[in-house]
Amino acid sequence: DVKVTQSSRYLVKRTGEKVFLECVQDMDHENMFWYRQDPGLGLRLIYFSYDVKMKEKGDIPEGYSVSREKKERFSLILESASTNQTSMYLCASSFWGDNQPQHFGDGTRLSIL
């Protein structure tokens, strides 16, 4: 079974802090994704990566950055956390190529106070 592991289920941080969310997958997937999920807005893509050290902006990249130093690990960074970044963050991964489903981690519920 595919395993996508997010480092924390719940996280509480303060405004202005630098926040790191970690995601690790064990299936040798090329693609990795970070989404945020908010009520009434669905899943919105923040960043994705299709290879080590490669990254591309999704729909809402402002206020975020990412790092992919190893194939299995994809980190989301909130450079200076703000209250409007309180959300559920979901990591996903998939193989490269057509018609490959994405597999999701359990999510990190992040609260910025």
Partner 1 sequence: EDKVVQSPLSLVVHEGDTVTLNCSYEVTNFRSLLWYKQEKKAPTFLFMLTSSGIEKKSGRLSSILDKKELFSILNITATQTGDSAIYLCAVGEYGGSQGNLIFGKGTKLSVKP
Nearer to partner 1, 81 or 91 (CB): 91
Q: Which helix (H) or strand (E) holds 85?
A: none
For position 94 contacting partner 1 by CB under 8 A, the verdict is: yes
Here's the x/- map for partner 1, 5-44, by CB under 8 A: it reads as --------------------------x-x-x----xxxxx
Whether 89 contacts 45, CB under 8 Å: no
CA atoms within 13 A on the CB side of 98: 0
- Residue 77 has a CB neighbour count (10 Å cut-off) of 14
- Give the count of residues interacting with partner 1 (CB under 8 A): 28
99 binds partner 1 (CB under 8 A): yes
108 touching partner 1, by CB under 8 A: no
Q: Identify the residue among 11, 45, 60, 77 touching partner 1 (CB under 8 A).
A: 45
Bridge partners (DSSP) listed for residue 70 = 73
Could you tell me what percentage of the chain is helix, strand and coil, using 3-state DSSP and rounding each to the nearest 5?
5, 55, 45
Q: Residue numbers of the site for partner 1 (CB under 8 A)?
A: 4, 31, 33, 35, 40-45, 48, 50, 56, 58, 90, 94, 96-107
